[in-house]
């Protein structure tokens, strides 16, 4: 019912009669079940957004005030999600009153009410005039950031990014930055965890210099936090954070932490890092990637936990459109096979690599074909014929010409590795079919591979 009433305006005679929908929703805002209250608030917001200004003043604002003064905490919790609808239409007197009421809700005896006030502060702040934003709203925000309940403080962290976008950069530096720096050292790991998740969003709000001076040290602290959950959150945001910094700063301050995290005692930290680290390649540039990131890729590819290895392999497409970096990633797979042998490679990395030949991103598929051409000499004839070759042959049906002519090149490289009978039964028929492809490049490379196969046959 709470959900349906939100779309009921056409059935009660249009917006001029929308106020008749408010009483049942007001009642639903006070019930015990959270999901019902949430839907009632959502429906009230939807209706309020369509109501005429005089009706908002006559019916909606009093409703918000009644809920905010409700005896049951459920009513007060619900009221917090409605201030952003009520405020813009209110008179100056009512606006002053609404700001004061919201401030009281932020100091409510019940933590559930304070949590709701913290959650909705960003939405309310977006409707408040700039003059009051810097005074009333920042006072409310500062109260929430000093709450004795960590569940309230961590929701205040979420508000930091929203408020930061509303303030001028200098006000953001004055009011939000000190709070975030303090939160990054909060006694509750849950608050520090939330900071680790949000920090990169604040960098844009405060600008480059405060980021370098204050937020980078805070982020480095979080990457080295003694709580694994915090390191997981920080590690998972490392690429997003580095995108905001200049490459030199990322290499100088963040990369040493990334190296530490790649050998972290928690497999979940290493897994979080492995899922994003490939995205750092385009940020750091070709030289730094090859010199400094690749050794980290390699150590994560050797990790004892499959999830860590899989996260690295499954993100190969993020190594950008820079061929030399993709080439280095494919070479990593080959180096692992050489170092640990074909049996280990078949068990730990080859299946995951081959699975990606179906990835919708064509650069992914290119990288896998390249990896196969490098793996084949290491894996030997038997594994190449049974496992690698079928994948290459299936890729010959790819819709992208670039993939198909790379298939022809890979098939040419496999001819000296496999038995002559395999060349005759599998490779040549595939190349013959490709030599009649509509694309000129596919025909060229397929014909070239066929000529190479003829030469091998003649020499034997």
Residue that wins the pLDDT comparison between 278 and 329: 278
Q: How confident is the model at residue 81 (pLDDT cuts 50, 70, 90)?
A: very high
pLDDT at 333: 77
Statement: residue 257 has pLDDT above 70: yes
Q: What average pLDDT is seen over the chain? A: 87
pLDDT at 95: 93
Residue that wins the pLDDT comparison between 354 and 185: 185
Q: CA–CA separation, 417 vs 411, rounded Å?
A: 10
Its pTM stands at 0.68
pLDDT in tens, 275-315: 888 788 778 877 787 788 878 887 887 788 877 877 776 66
Instruction: Determine the Cα angle at 296 with ends 292 and 300, to 5°.
Output: 170
Q: How confident is the model at residue 217 (pLDDT cuts 50, 70, 90)?
A: very high
pLDDT at 325: 54
- CATH among 3.40.50.1000, 3.40.50.1260, 3.30.70.100, 1.25.10.10 for 1-128: 1.25.10.10
Q: How confident is the model at residue 93 (pLDDT cuts 50, 70, 90)?
A: very high
pLDDT at 345: 84
Question: Which one-letter DSSP state was computed for residue 357?
Answer: G
Q: List, as own/partner pairs, every contact residues 160-165 make where C-beta atoms lie below 8 angstroms and the sequence separation is at least 24, other chains included.
A: 160/198, 160/202, 161/198, 161/201, 161/202, 161/205, 162/121, 162/122, 162/123, 162/125, 162/126, 163/121, 163/122, 163/125, 163/137, 163/138, 164/201, 164/202, 164/205, 164/206, 165/205
Q: Which residue in this structure is represented by tokens 């091998």?
A: 456
Q: CA–CA separation, 345 vs 347, rounded Å?
A: 5
Average pLDDT (246-264) is 92
Mapping DSSP to helix (H, G, I), strand (E, B) and coil, where does residue 70 land?
A: coil
pLDDT at 315: 62
Statement: residue 244 has pLDDT above 90: no
Q: Give percent of the chain above pLDDT 90.
A: 50
pLDDT in tens, 336-362: 788 778 888 888 778 878 888 887 878
pLDDT at 320: 46
CATH class of the domain whose range is 392-460: mainly alpha
pLDDT in tens, 192-210: 999 998 888 888 778 888 8
Q: How confident is the model at residue 438 (pLDDT cuts 50, 70, 90)?
A: very high
Q: CA–CA separation, 109 vs 272, rounded Å?
A: 38
Cβ-based neighbours of 447, under 8 Å, separated by 6 or more: 435
Q: How confident is the model at residue 387 (pLDDT cuts 50, 70, 90)?
A: very high
Statement: residue 156 has pLDDT above 50: yes
Q: CA–CA separation, 427 vs 127, rounded Å?
A: 67
Residue that wins the pLDDT comparison between 333 and 87: 87
pLDDT in tens, 371-384: 999 999 999 999 99
pLDDT at 135: 87
pLDDT at 120: 95
Statement: residue 69 has pLDDT above 60: yes
- Cβ atoms 104, 145 nearer than 8 A: no
Q: CA–CA separation, 254 vs 215, rounded Å?
A: 12
Statement: residue 398 has pLDDT above 70: yes
Q: CA–CA separation, 158 vs 140, rounded Å?
A: 14
């Amino acid at each position: 019912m709470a959900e349906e009433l939100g779309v009921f305006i056409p059935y009660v005679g249009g917006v001029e009669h929308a106020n008749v929908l408010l009483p049942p929703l007001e009642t639903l805002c006070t019930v015990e079940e959270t999901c019902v209250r949430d839907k009632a608030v959502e429906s009230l917001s939807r209706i309020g957004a369509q109501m005429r200004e005089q009706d908002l003043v006559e019916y909606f604002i009093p409703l918000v005030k009644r809920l905010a003064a409700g005896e049951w905490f459920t009513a007060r919790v619900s009221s917090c999600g409605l201030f952003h609808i009520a405020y813009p239409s209110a008179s100056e007197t009512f606006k002053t009153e609404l700001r004061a009421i919201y401030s009281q809700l932020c100091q409510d005896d019940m933590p559930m009410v304070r949590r709701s006030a913290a959650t909705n502060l960003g939405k309310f702040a977006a409707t408040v005039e700039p003059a009051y934003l810097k005074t009333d709203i920042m006072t409310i925000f500062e109260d929430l950031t000093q709450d004795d309940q960590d569940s309230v403080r961590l929701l205040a962290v979420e508000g930091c990014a929203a408020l930061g976008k509303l303030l001028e950069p200098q006000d953001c530096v004055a009011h939000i930055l000190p709070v975030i720096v303090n939160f990054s050292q909060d006694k509750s790991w849950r608050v520090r965890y939330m900071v680790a998740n949000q920090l990169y969003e604040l960098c844009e709000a405060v600008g480059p210099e405060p980021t370098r001076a204050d937020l980078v040290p805070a982020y480095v602290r979080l990457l080295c936090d003694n709580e694994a959950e915090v390191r997981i959150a920080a590690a998972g945001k490392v690429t997003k954070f580095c995108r905001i910094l200049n490459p030199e700063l990322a290499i100088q301050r963040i990369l040493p932490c990334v190296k530490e995290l790649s050998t972290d005692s928690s497999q979940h930290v290493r897994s979080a890092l492995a899922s994003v680290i490939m995205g750092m390649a385009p940020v750091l540039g070709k030289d730094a990637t090859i010199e400094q990131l690749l050794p980290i890729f390699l150590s994560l590819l050797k990790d004892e936990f499959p999830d860590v290895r899989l996260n690295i392999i499954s993100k190969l497409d993020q190594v950008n459109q820079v061929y030399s970096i993709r080439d280095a990633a494919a070479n990593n797979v080959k180096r692992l096979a050489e170092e640990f042998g074909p049996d280990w490679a078949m068990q730990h990395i080859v299946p995951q690599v081959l699975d990606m030949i179906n990835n919708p991103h064509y650069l992914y598929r290119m990288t896998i074909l390249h990896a196969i051409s490098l793996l084949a000499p290491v894996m030997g004839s038997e594994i190449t014929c049974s496992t690698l070759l079928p994948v290459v042959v299936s890729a010959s049906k790819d819709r992208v010409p670039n993939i198909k002519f790379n298939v022809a090149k890979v098939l040419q490289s496999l001819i000296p590795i496999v038995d002559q009978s395999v060349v005759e039964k599998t490779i040549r028929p595939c190349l013959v079919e490709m030599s009649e492809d509509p694309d000129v490049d596919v025909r060229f490379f397929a014909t070239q591979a066929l000529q190479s196969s003829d030469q091998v046959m003649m020499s034997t």
